[in-house]
Amino acid sequence: MITIDALGQVCPIPVIRAKKALAELGEAGGVVTVLVDNDISRQNLQKMAEGMGYQAEYLEKDNGVIEVTIVAGEGCAVETSGTAEDSGLVVAIGRNTMGEGSEELGRILLKGFIYSLRELTPPPARLLFFNSGAHLTSKDSNSIEDLKAMAAQGTIIQTCGTCLNYYGITKQLAVGQVANMYDIVTAMAEAKRLINI
């Protein structure tokens, strides 16, 4: 049995930690218990477990703690292999926020999105950054560690050179390489799967 204390952590972190724990159990199966403190995390953990064919139950405890128990049966292994190139996934990020509305929330969502990309198996083949998204590959970005981890896993990271120049951050590029718009368009056109933000 594996117990994960995810109290105070917002999604997708509890879900990703649970998936990693399930992968550790391997085909033998077992039990993963996740402690969370909000109902959204509980719901997301249950959806993830059910989507993987596992049994999931929860118990509300004292002080707002919710204990989610996931039971993985024998022979239920989590896929944990593949290279970035295998995924064929290209993600194009043209802004430093995600969605419309609150900019602060948009930054939080985009950080969570990039963290989630890091946890994909296999990881994305390529990440493309342009317009204000170019800020995300600069040394001051709050996502730089996640981006560096993906680069180490083989993800190609490219940032629009015109955009870096426009924002005056060319010398602050901290991960990946400079690209031109033709490189970006070619990568998008040749993608097996494309996510465009």
Residue 82 lies in a domain: no
User: 142: domain CATH number?
Assistant: 3.40.1260.10
Contact of 95 with 58, CB cutoff 8 Å:
no
Q: Which two tokens stand for residue 173?
A: 């590029």
Whether 136 and 39 share a structural domain? no
Nearest to 70 by CA among 52, 58, 56: 56
The confidence score (pLDDT) of residue 52 equals 84
Q: 105, 157, 87: which is closest to 129 by C-alpha?
A: 157
Tokens 């109902």, located at residue: 39
**Residues 48-85 pLDDT 10s:** 888 888 989 999 998 999 999 999 876 454 454 566 66
- Beta carbons within 10 angstroms of residue 72's beta carbon: 25
Based on the fold, state whether residues 128 and 186 are members of the same structural domain: yes
Q: Do 51 and 131 reside in the same domain of the chain?
A: no
Contacts of 141-144 with CB under 8 Å at 24 or more apart are 141/174, 142/107, 142/111, 143/110, 143/111, 143/114, 143/115, 144/174, 144/175
CA distances from 7 to 15, 35, 38, 64, 156 (A): 12, 6, 8, 10, 34
Query: Is the same domain home to 109 and 41?
Result: no
* Residues 53, 120 within the same domain: no
Q: What is the CATH number of the domain that holds 18?
A: 3.30.110.40
Both 192 and 154 in a single domain? yes
Which stretches in the chain have pLDDT values below 50? Answer: 75, 77-78, 80
Give the residue carrying structure tokens 């180490």.
152
